[in-house]
Amino acid sequence: MQSVPTSMGAAGDNAYWSIESSELLQRLGTSASGLASAEAASRLAKFGHNTLVSRSSTSALAVFVRQFRSPLVLILIFAAAVSAFVGEGHEAAIIGAIVLASCVLSFTQEYGASRAMAVLKQRISRKTAVLRDGLECSVDSDDIVPGDVVRLSAGNLIPVDGVILDARDFNVSEAVLTGETFPVVKAPGRSAPEAMVARRTNAVFTGTSVRSGTATVLAAATGASTEFASIAEALEQRIPETEFARGIRLFGYLMSEIMLAIVILVFFANLMLDRPLIESLLFSLALAVGLTPELLPAIISVTLSRGARTMAASGVIVRRLDAIENLGSMDLLCTDKTGTLTEGVIHLDGWFDVDGNPSTDVLHWARLNATLQTGLKNPLDEAIAGAQGEGATSNLFTKVDEIPYDFVRKRLSVVVRTKQGEDLLITKGAVQNVLEACRFVQTANGQEPLNDGHRKAIDDKFRRWSADGYRVLGLAIRRFESRNAFGRKDETDLAFAGFLLFLDPPKQGVRETLAALAHRGIAVKVISGDNRYVAAHLAEAVGLRADRIMTGEDLSKLTKSGLFARAQHTDLFVEIDPNQKERIVQALRSRGHVVGYLGDGINDAPALHEADIGISVDTAVDVAREAADIILLKRDLGVLVRGVDDGRKTFANTMKYISITTSANFGNMISMAVASLFLPFLPLLAKQILLNNFLSDVPSLAIASDNVDPDQLRRPRRWDIRFVRRFMVSFGLVSSLFDFATFAFLLLFAHATAATFQTAWFTESLLTELAIVLIVRTHKAFWASRPSRLLAWLTLGVGAIAIVVPYAPFAAWFGFVPLPLSVLGGLIAITGFYLIVSEATKRWFFDHESHHRHRWQAMRIIGSGSKSRSAHPH
């Protein structure tokens, strides 16, 4: 086989869309039956994987280097270099060693987290149907190479740039590239060499999706050579910032403002007190590092990756890590009913003629339609094919043509030829959509003109069966003289032949699962294309309200503001057009809800993108899986409940680190800054501050594994920067109060020298920072909530180090001296009293916050009610 030219790997080098497909096959060294497996492997080695980024982007070296990008780390390295230059080599070595240890600590955590996530993502890698060795097989989309022949059908996300060799009613959504809302019709042929992407009607592109029909495509460009790759950076910038990422960013701003103010103030104040320049600079920078939650990126990575692994064990795969935090914040879940509220195993329960009598002809025609159609596979067709019943065998018929299903017609037609040479068009679909294409009714005596009496009888049966929980499809036929091709224009003058009744019973235990979601503060709203009667019947069966219904027709008449007002007071959105799903999610988000959307269909992708947390299932179509943030390996709301709990645990543990950092750390650094202005010596040397900060961070590495109290899982958790600020001030003031008490004890009672003061203050500040870990990690009394074993042992271990360090052989390197037992006993007593006061402060603070939150929620409800009333004047 001819090898593929190197230039053909890049879309721009050759206008492949303007070349005849036979010539392009030759240029690419392939054929219509695809590549040989050995040749595909060779090309994979040559062109690389079909991805936009290198698989080695999470290399150990890259992650390690990233640890040194922090401005504070770089400033400390610079300051250490200056110290060495002016002759303070001992000081510089200690500072350098502590900075290196911190970066290594952060690296081990972040790299381990990134590797764990890479393993999880492999579990949901996307597969594509390609021709290899002349046979159709399923391969990882990342392993497709130029020259591969790819088979596409409705719901597929297109994995390559290429030209169409063969297509049938092939419509592609190219909004991600062109911004065009409506699907584009694609067909084999040639486009002008200078044609822009939107005008290349014979070509498909990576990242776009198939809306309907089927096609065979020749891959011409993959990976970084695709059109999608050329705009990937711009597309990445369009991804909205998540609430959690915004919270982290605002927290970073808050800490930066505080650090900047303290560094400038302390540095210049110490210079005015005639302290040495280098010593003052190092002290100011060390204070900034002491205030900085420098392990926050690593803590977040570890906490999220641990949460992702825990969720994976429960059957929930996380595609985007920050989605875990959003899942914990979710207070509203929108879902379809099939497979989520119902068993998802659909049975064909009845096949009736127009008069409501069982009909073997209706079953036979339905089987021909279901088994011979080649479009999107669905459970209804599988149920028809597996139904037990009599009927003529399909081998008496030959398939002539097919008119694929689409979401406008809501019908699917198959044309078969009988032994007598007559062509029979069989149409099935939504009852009303089939009925609007009919002019006759099929009866036992032949065909009769369709009149108002027939329409009313059909509608009455449809409503009665739907109210009993059945999903009802209509079936119609039309006979033609033999010919080779049929189209949508032939779906007219049909004869309505009968009904197909499907039953999908409520899922066992779903009522209890919905109650568990409600107990966690999550309301459930159903968005379904099914009719109002089926949806209301199911809602009553599973314990949801069935009286607050909005149909797609009602929704289409509402303005944007009208929908915003009514959406949150609606529980069942029924007979919904796929394009309306995104509007509903947008309306619910506009009312301040954190919205999760569970969907698996072609038209769920826009709603999945719009939702705060897009949720899909492993069996979903490609475009839905790629739009989702979270994939359920089992379509079960019970799995989602466990995922919500894991998300809230992850959020709670992340906030614990922030709480710890912004309480004792903040108070200690503020106290040190103030003390440095009044003491004749620095309260701590720079290297002592850095050692203190390093040791106090060690227990934080176990935060990801800490236990979370059940009461912290009962309601959605959301970022609140004002809460963080209030928490920091409240607990920082308590910490500073005890710091000043320690200063008074050391100066007035112990008459400490500079070295003794610094040693004692190092020990006390480290003990209080460790003590606060046990206090703020729970809303309960600290003795009533057990920390994880790792967190407890690390906290106790570092506490022991804090007491032992002054007596260690290397103590002099850091400027420490042994402490008298009387001083050590006083420090332990102050720390114990600090524990008691911090516990009391915690109770007061959370009681106050709870009262504040309930008052705010009441005001929000009142405001919402008044807005709703103004939107619906009497």
* Helix extents (H) in 314-427: 323-329, 360-372, 379-385
Report yes or no: 703 and 297 within 8 Å, Cβ to Cβ.
no
Active-site residue list: 336
Which residues have a Cβ under 8 Å from the Cβ of 149 and sit 6 or more positions away? 30, 32, 33, 34, 35, 130, 131, 165, 216, 217, 218, 219
Helix orientation angle between 89-122 and 71-85, rounded to the nearest 10 degrees: 150
Quick one: three-class SS letters along 737-756?
A: HHHHHHHHHHHHHCCCCHHH
Characterise 529 by phi-psi region: left (phi > 0), alpha (psi -120 to 50), beta (else).
Answer: alpha
DSSP result, 210-241 = EEEEEEEEEEEE-GGGSHHHHHHHHHHHHSPP
CA distances from 81 to 93, 97, 490, 850 (A): 9, 12, 83, 50
Distance in angstroms (rounded) separating the CA atoms of residues 329 and 323: 10
**3-class DSSP state for residue 415?**
strand
Q: Let me know how long the chain is.
A: 874
Distance in angstroms (rounded) separating the CA atoms of residues 827 and 589: 52
Under DSSP, the state recorded for 506 is B
Q: How far is CA 432 from the centre of its chain?
A: 37
CA distances from 688 to 83, 95, 105, 667, 776 (A): 15, 9, 19, 17, 25
Structure-block tokens of residue 634: 């089992």
Question: Which value, in Å, is the radius of gyration of the alpha carbons in the chain?
Answer: 34
Which residues have a Cβ under 8 Å from the Cβ of 446 and sit 6 or more positions away? none
Structure-block tokens of residue 550: 């909005």
Report yes or no: 739 and 680 within 8 Å, Cβ to Cβ.
no
Distance in angstroms (rounded) separating the CA atoms of residues 494 and 476: 6
**3-class DSSP state for residue 417?**
strand
